[in-house]
Amino acid sequence: MTRTFLALDLSPELQRFLERAIARGAHLLPAARWVEPASLHVTLAFLGELSDEQLAQAIEAGEAAARQVPPFSYRLTGLGTFGSARAPRVVWMGLEDASGRLQALQQVLMRELQARGFPPEERPFSPHLTLARLKRPLSREEQQALQRLLYEIRVPASLPEHTVETLDVMKSELSRAGARYSYLYRARLATPEA
């Protein structure tokens, strides 16, 4: 069985910016479990533990979806949280894609996965990069530190957009040190017509 998800990568420039944001976050809010910058990705679909046959179907779905959407660019928008102010579960960096192709790719991917027997995703798609996870409610001081972080980390206008050219099928291996990700397959997005 292979713990599998489909995702998009990010550019070295975005990764360096997020590495600095994570370092600042780890300093201000050590109670959170911060993601290793090298592990950052945009998850489009988490599929869980798959058999070899299911993995082949997931790769096929990824290829089919990628053929339907041309390359596109996204930019980082800013920090946010999932959960309440007192008990946030996730600190994330938002994404924006002016072309609408990020949403389109995720929707096409969901259709292709469902056509191959994978269950539909119940939650609405919210494009983001997970930077940290929190396991318990925050103290008042920690809440203030989180608010300070959300205020301090601003995406500079000079930070370039990232052009997405592949949809990646990824493997996730869990350990005490955290999840480790590796590429299983890369599907190239559609070649734009001339």
* Residues annotated as part of the active site: 41, 128
Contact 171, 4 (CB under 8 A): yes
CA 3 → CA 55, 56, 176, distances in Å? 9, 13, 16
Estimate to the nearest angstrom the gap between the alpha carbon of 122 and the chain centroid: 17
- Which residue, among 110, 105, 114, has the nearest Cα to 45 in the 3D structure? 110
Contact 131, 112 (CB under 8 A): no
Cα angle: 76, vertex 79, 85; to 5 degrees: 160
DSSP letter assigned to residue 177? T
